Structures are given as C-alpha cells and as structure tokens.
Chain A
C-alpha cells in the first residue's frame, strides 16, 4: 500500500518537514526533524530504485488524474539514480549540519535555515521526480527561492549581493525555461514530458519548437552554471553558510543537469538535437572553455571556498562534455561524473566547513599548516582532491576514463588530449591547498586548533571513503549510469 505512494512521499515528506520545522523553530528540535527527514529520504529513493530495477518505469498519477491533464510523477532508472544521489547527500549533510549551523547562523534564524533547507531539498527532489514540464518549473523555483535565502544567511555581507545576483540570473533562467515550455505546450498541447516527446516528431521542424529548444537549453544552462552563464556561482558558493554550500554544490547544479539531459535526450530526442542541429560543437566548445577557463581562474583565488566554486564550474564542463558527445560511453561518462563530482565536492566543502568551524575563516593565509592540526579532516579532503584530479583508484578516475574513451570513440583524439591536459590545471590548484595545509608552518592561531569534533568527522570520512570505494567498485555508479545512458539515448522512456 505505502509502496504505491513512494513517489509522492519523496516530495511530501521534506515539504511537511519544512512546515514542522518552521512551526517549531527551536534550534535543536529543528535539527532533529531535519535529520529524521533527511535520513528517511534515501530509504524512499533506494526503494524506488529497487522498484524501477524490478518492475520498470513507475508512473504515479497525482490525485488520480490522467497524465494528459494531470501531473504525473515518473521514475525511471535515470531519475531514480538522481533521487538517490540527492537524498543520500542530504542524509550525510544533516548530522554534520548541527555544529556548523550553530556556529554560523544567528540563533533566532537557525529554525528558518533548516526550514529553507528542507524546502530546497523538496524542490530538488521534485524536479528530479516529476514528469510534467510545468511542475518542474514550479519545483525549480521552489528550490531556487529557498537557496537564495540559504545563501543570504551567510555571515559576510557579500553573501547578500551574491544571493541577489543569483536571484536575478536564476529567475531569468527559470523564465527562459518556462517560455520554452510554453512554446512546446502551444505546439503539442500537453505539458507531460512523455506526451510532448510522442507528439513533437510531427512539429519538430517548425520554428516555435526550435525557439523552445533554444529557450530551454539557455534557461537550464543558467541554472546548471554552464560557462559563460556561471557568473552567479562562485560568489554564491563562497559566501553562503558552509552547510548551504555543501548542499548546493553537491545537488543543485546536478539536478539542473538532469533536467537538461531529460529535455535534450528524452523530450527533444538525441536525433533531433544532435544530428539535425549543431548542438554538439557548441556544447563541446563551451564545456572545454569551462574546463580550462574556470579551472585556470580557480588557480588564482585566495579564498579556498571560492577556488573550489570555480572548480565546480570546470567540473560541470566535464559533465556537459560527456552529454554533448551523445554516445553511450559519453553520456555514461557525464552521468558517472555527475555522481562522483557530487560526492567529491560534498567531501571537500564539508572538510572546509569543518575547518571554518574551527578557524572561523577560510582564506589560504588563515589555514596554513591546518593539515597538522586537523589531520583527519584534511586527509579526507586530500583524498577527495585526488579524486577530483582523477588519480587511478578513486572515483574521479572512472569518470575521466569514460570521457577519454568516449572522445576517442568518436575519433576526437584532441579532445581526449585536452581532458588529460586539463587534469594538470586541477593538479595545480589542488596542489596549492595541499601545500598550504600540510607543508607550511602553522601560525600561532592555527597551532591552538584541535581536530574537528566526531559528529563532523564521521560524515566527512564516510563520503571520502565513498569516493575511494566507487573508484574500485563501479557497479552502482558506472553500471547504473550506463543503464541510465542507454535509457536516455533510446529516446522515449
């Protein structure tokens, strides 16, 4: 009985949790509710994934309305994987959050912080689970509006400006998306993604459909921070509270990438987008520009969080690069990197959050020698950094491997060369952090610091272990991603 309602529960539980938190507002109680909700999420999404694996696509009709007029939640292997990723990351963040939030957010706002966090979680899960284009817009705005609030709660006043800029760009992106959806609706008469995909073949050569494709791609690209539409991201990540940064870096852009993949592969169809239109060269060029441009800028940052924010823009480039190749290996590489990068960045930002908790600042000059005082935290960060580089035996290697193989498969050896070359830039900026943390003498201030508390260490180490584990056993990540890639490339779900 309850098994039938799982898709709705995935979204309703965090939404109700947010309401409950907003009513309670007492810091500890609010955190407890957040933990309970966040821990329940991966259970639900794991059950959904199992169901999809056993029985195939789940179609859930909200309120019993037929999909042609009502909203349908549709779970296939692709979004089951995204749901599992988002909810697992949320579950790992929740135990970590208590101390970090206590130290960074004024006490009277802690309840609101958790409420916004849960709303954002509900929105992201909603985007991933829904099979309705307009519903996806609403969830997109739910998750975005709450993340503006989360970012604005940062201590630095620049957090406010960052949140404002994100609001402007995010709203333009969402409006572009909804314009595209409107044009699709005018041409096909439906908002259900599946039905649009069925009907679009008859009208795909018409100009409104091309305009819709352009609006949707640009709109979602703003949300997923595709170069050069990424300008909102570095400041937003750098000045947001640590927990918000971890959460957004690991999930928000990833869900936007999912929506992007869903539209270009499932709705418009790879044959239309990639074979008839010059989308591949454009996306590959932008992705390579992101990988090199953003990574190079990352090297020159003085704020560690900002450096990894720029790194995120570069890493998104790898993911879109994989998708742009539109081959099974390429899309698999993109999706694996999506999963791996979420884990890697969550580990890194969590480690930085723990450092911030102890030191209170996160510039390079403030954390010199921190590795000697917080060895476990910084070791976990170092492991994640190695994974970011793509050292064999870590998760990052698996995704880079797929991407290199994919570019060789289509005969673009220069692209494979560029991917390997870009790794060198990653080595440079990651090396800066390692050098600063381990090989410099701690200042007097840093020397007085202790290792992070256990309740912060445990989630960090768990995720760091995951980045190594998924580098060795690729069954869940690469195996699932390959099935998802096949599902995406086969067009109709």
Chain B
C-alpha cells in the first residue's frame, strides 16, 4: 500500500511532466491520424506547446519568485528558459501562420483541405 502511495505521490509531484508527455503524444497523434490539414496544424501546435512546458518546468524553482531583483526575495526562477520559450513561441506562431496560409492557398487551388481528396485529385489528372 505504501508503495502505491509513493508511486501516486511520484506521479502527482511530476504532474507538469505528465502534462508535457500527454500534450506531446496527443499532438503528434493528431498530426499523424487526421487528414484535415487545419486539424493537423492544431495537432502540430499542441506538440510545440508541450515543448514550451518542458522548458518552463525546468526553469521553475520551488518557492522561487519571478526573476526580478528585489531586496525581499532571495530565490528566483531561472529566467533563461522563459526567454528561450518566448523565442520558441514566436517560431511556433510563425510556423502556424505559414501553415495556415498554405492551407488557404491549397483550398483555393483544390477546393478541399482533406488530404485523401487532394491526393485523389492529383492522381486523376
């Protein structure tokens, strides 16, 4: 029984990592399993979001405050991961924007954004 409690405690204590793993896997699954190009991009975004969480979790220090120098505090969270992820978020937005722009153009050219349909139409020609 105590083993089980320890295990549960372990899982709960690392809940942020579990969320990361869940988002990562579900995002990747959506990218692979869905044929709708917008849904694929949503999955891709989820996948990228999990990476943000991975980095941010690493920068968090228990009982640490935001990294702003103040005489009342001595323990700060590590600021570097936040800065890195700010960059990664910008990259993610740019990727999503380019991806959606491509989907708009694909919709104009093919009249659909379902992958099977598109491949079928190209094969028919």
Chain A positions within 8 Å of B, measured between CB atoms, are 69, 134, 137-138, 141, 145, 148-149, 152, 157-158, 160-161, 163-164, 167-168, 171-172, 175, 178-179, 182-183, 185-186, 191
Asked whether A167 lies within 8 Å of B51 as measured between CB atoms, the reply is no
Asked whether A182 lies within 8 Å of B98 as measured between CB atoms, the reply is no
A137 to B88, CA, bound (A): 9
B91 to A, closest residue via Cβ: A141
Nearest chain B CB to A240 CB, angstrom units = 13
- Chain B residues contacting A134 (CB-CB under 8 Å) are 84, 87
B residues 72-90 near A (Cβ < 8 Å) are 80-81, 84, 87-88
A135 to B, closest residue via Cβ: B87
A138 to B, closest residue via Cβ: B87
Q: With A172-B44, A175-B51, A182-B55 as given contacts, are A164 and B91 in contact (CB-CB < 8 Å)?
A: no
A sample of 5 cross-chain residue pairs with beta-carbon separation below 8 angstroms, ordered by A number, consists of A148-B98, A152-B105, A158-B122, A167-B102, A171-B48
> Is residue B25 contacting chain A, with contact meaning CB distance below 8 A?
no
Nearest chain A CB to B105 CB, angstrom units = 5
A187 to B, closest residue via Cβ: B58
Asked whether B55 lies within 8 Å of A157 as measured between CB atoms, the reply is no
- Chain A residues contacting B103 (CB-CB under 8 Å) are 164
Asked whether B44 lies within 8 Å of A141 as measured between CB atoms, the reply is no
Asked whether A161 lies within 8 Å of B48 as measured between CB atoms, the reply is no
Q: With A167-B95, A171-B95, A182-B51 as given contacts, are A160 and B58 in contact (CB-CB < 8 Å)?
A: no
Asked whether B84 lies within 8 Å of A160 as measured between CB atoms, the reply is no
Asked whether B122 lies within 8 Å of A164 as measured between CB atoms, the reply is no
Q: Which of B28, B47, B95 touches A145 (beta carbons < 8 Å)?
A: B95
Q: Which of B47, B81, B87, B91 has the most CB of A within 10 A?
A: B91
Q: With A134-B84, A164-B103, A172-B28 as given contacts, are A145 and B118 in contact (CB-CB < 8 Å)?
A: no
B residues 89-125 near A (Cβ < 8 Å) are 91, 94-95, 98-99, 102-103, 105-106, 109-110, 118, 122
Asked whether B58 lies within 8 Å of A186 as measured between CB atoms, the reply is yes
Nearest chain B CB to A424 CB, angstrom units = 31
Asked whether B102 lies within 8 Å of A163 as measured between CB atoms, the reply is yes
A160 to B58, CA, bound (A): 38
Nearest chain A CB to B12 CB, angstrom units = 20
Asked whether A175 lies within 8 Å of B47 as measured between CB atoms, the reply is yes
Nearest chain A CB to B41 CB, angstrom units = 8
Other than the known A160-B106, A161-B118, what 19 A-B pairs have Cβ atoms closer than 8 Å? A69-B80, A134-B84, A141-B94, A141-B95, A148-B102, A157-B106, A158-B122, A161-B122, A163-B102, A164-B37, A164-B106, A167-B102, A168-B31, A168-B44, A171-B95, A175-B48, A179-B24, A182-B55, A186-B58
- Chain B residues contacting A183 (CB-CB under 8 Å) are 54
Q: With A167-B95, A171-B48 as given contacts, are A185 and B102 in contact (CB-CB < 8 Å)?
A: no
Asked whether B91 lies within 8 Å of A167 as measured between CB atoms, the reply is no
Nearest chain A CB to B18 CB, angstrom units = 16
A141 to B28, CA, bound (A): 19
Q: With A160-B106, A175-B47, A175-B51 as given contacts, are A149 and B88 in contact (CB-CB < 8 Å)?
A: no
A162 to B, closest residue via Cβ: B102
- Chain A residues contacting B55 (CB-CB under 8 Å) are 182, 185
Nearest chain A CB to B112 CB, angstrom units = 11
A151 to B, closest residue via Cβ: B102
A172 to B31, CA, bound (A): 9
Q: With A171-B44, A175-B47 as given contacts, are A185 and B106 in contact (CB-CB < 8 Å)?
A: no
Asked whether A172 lies within 8 Å of B47 as measured between CB atoms, the reply is yes
A179 to B24, CA, bound (A): 10
A134 to B81, CA, bound (A): 11
A190 to B, closest residue via Cβ: B80
- Chain B residues contacting A137 (CB-CB under 8 Å) are 88, 91
Nearest chain A CB to B33 CB, angstrom units = 13
B121 to A, closest residue via Cβ: A157
Asked whether B48 lies within 8 Å of A152 as measured between CB atoms, the reply is no
B35-52 vs A, CB cutoff 8 Å, 1 = contact: the mask equals 001001100100110010
- Chain B residues contacting A141 (CB-CB under 8 Å) are 91, 94-95
A167 to B110, CA, bound (A): 18
Q: With A164-B103, A167-B98 as given contacts, are A178 and B28 in contact (CB-CB < 8 Å)?
A: no
- Chain A residues contacting B102 (CB-CB under 8 Å) are 148, 152, 160, 163-164, 167
- Chain B residues contacting A186 (CB-CB under 8 Å) are 58
Q: Which 8 A-B pairs have the closest CB atoms?
A: A157-B109, A141-B91, A186-B58, A164-B102, A160-B106, A182-B54, A160-B105, A182-B55
A470 to B94, CA, bound (A): 41
- Chain B residues contacting A152 (CB-CB under 8 Å) are 102, 105
- Chain B residues contacting A161 (CB-CB under 8 Å) are 106, 118, 122
A178 to B24, CA, bound (A): 13
A26 to B53, CA, bound (A): 43
Asked whether A138 lies within 8 Å of B91 as measured between CB atoms, the reply is yes
A149 to B31, CA, bound (A): 21
A178 to B84, CA, bound (A): 11
- Chain A residues contacting B91 (CB-CB under 8 Å) are 137-138, 141
Nearest chain B CB to A325 CB, angstrom units = 32
Q: Which of A145, A148, A178 touches B88 (beta carbons < 8 Å)?
A: A178
